[in-house]
Amino acid sequence: MSFKTPNVYVREKAILPPSVAEVETAIPAFIGRTEITSNETDGSFLFKPMKITSHVELDSIFGGPAPESFTVDENGNKVGEDGDNAKLLPSHLLYQSILHFFANGGGACYLVSIGDYETTSDAAAFLDALEALKAIDEVTLLLFPDAVNLEPVQYYDIVVQALQQCADLQDRFVPFDVLDSGNPKLENDIIDMRDAIGTRNLKYGAAYYPYVRTSIARAYTEDNVTVLVPELDAFGIPTGNTTPTPMSDLVMTDIHASVKAGLAKNYLVLPPCASVVGIYAQTDETRGVWKAPANISINQVIGPIKGIDDDTQEDMNVDPVSGKSVNAIRAFAGQGTLVWGARTLAGNDNEWRYIPVRRLFNFVEESVKKASRFAVFEPNVPFTWLKVKSTIESFLQNVWEQGGLFGDSPEQAYFVNVGLGQTMTEDDINNGIMNIEIGLAAVRPAEFIILTFSHKSISN
């Protein structure tokens, strides 16, 4: 600045380091089929990730749920070839899964449509959608609820590919559902999952089981519901035979009213992960990404479709061979249905055993990476190193003050090293490399609380 006029001149000097903008931690991407796959503004949006923030946007952009076709008795009870456990899930469940996400605290999310309700999508379509999501930096969680209707080998291959994407990008995580085979022995479902997903990238995923019966009514049109109407003889006595009749043909009859009332209570069964991810979002917002998303009730749920007790959960939570922990969805008297587990698939890994630890590191790594970009092409000299170090330390100090790091002091909670002789050699500097070393003492869930009691004698 040159001075030509006598006056008082003010110059502001920045003394604080650049701030770190904290990245979002619970932005899921849902993959599946939708009613609408194009519009006049965007044309076809098949395999194009689109962001929505509400139920209203979901309806306006992607349409509503797919009407189911099923058969019921005169009281609206669903029947089928396999009895009342027949077709637990609808063929298309993305729409209801996203509603369940919103109902449990979820906010902004991405949706990738792989086809409309007339489309038969195979595993390749889900993998193409995963590929499209690589370019969306904001996404931190991957979900594919419609894929549970694929063959198990196809479904678990999608899980494996999603875990690989997380390992490659290091900024996202995969909560996924353990498939329900319909076998009453739930341990078989757990074994099938553990056998199918291999041993790679386990720290980037978490499994949940079992499915839940929601308070969401099934979507249907009366033309698609077949009612088995009892046949009567000349005296009005049931013959034991039934006549399949479209529900729409029974309007203004007692049977129609009975069926409609029964269908209103024929609640939808859904895999739990969409609602669990809503809990991720809620917990991140109210407590922080370092808080385990567990011991929290799931909204709009009547209960899990299979009961799990402490003995059963032992083998789910800790497996000494594979280490592939499975987080239970359990019903507790007076508390409702709770997410009762917070382990990644890497259950035998002391560093990455817990979901909040993995997600905390994702959060810190991504936030620091973005905040450090100002130093690209800056001189690789002590002044720049100090600026980078101060920026990161200020960010970690804030995380520690919020309870995200363990320690009585910042020195116990984290460290940041950068400099010649510490993290870099002369050769590194000559090659334009700045190495930054960060250490974090992550807080871990109090998973096992042990209470020790003793009897106190009262002396005279």
**According to the model, what pLDDT value does residue 99 have?**
97
The CATH class, in words, for 28-216+268-358 is alpha beta
For the cut 70, the answer to whether the pLDDT of residue 17 exceeds it is no
Instruction: Return the number of other C-beta atoms located less than 10 Å from residue 220's C-beta.
Output: 19
Tens-digit pLDDT profile for residues 20-46? 778 899 999 999 999 999 999 889 999
What are 362's two structure tokens?
């994702």
Q: What is the pLDDT of residue 101?
A: 98
Buried/exposed code over 347-367 (b: 16+ C-beta within 10 A; e: otherwise): bbbeebbbbbbbbbbbbbebb
| Per-residue model confidence as pLDDT tens digits over 370-405 | 989 989 999 999 999 999 999 999 999 999 999 999
Q: Write the pLDDT tens digit of every residue in 2-12.
A: 777 876 766 66
Query: What per-residue confidence (pLDDT) applies to 83?
Result: 42
For 119-147, the pLDDT digits (tens) are: 887 899 999 999 999 999 999 999 999 99
pTM of the model: 0.91
Task: Please tell me whether the peptide bond between 246 and the residue prior to it is cis, using omega within 30 degrees of 0.
Answer: no
82 — pLDDT class (breaks 50, 70, 90): very low
| Res 185: pLDDT | 83
Average pLDDT of the segment spanning 101-122: 94
Residue 234 pLDDT grade (very low, low, confident, very high; cuts 50, 70, 90): confident
Domain ranges of the chain: 28-216+268-358, 219-265, 379-460
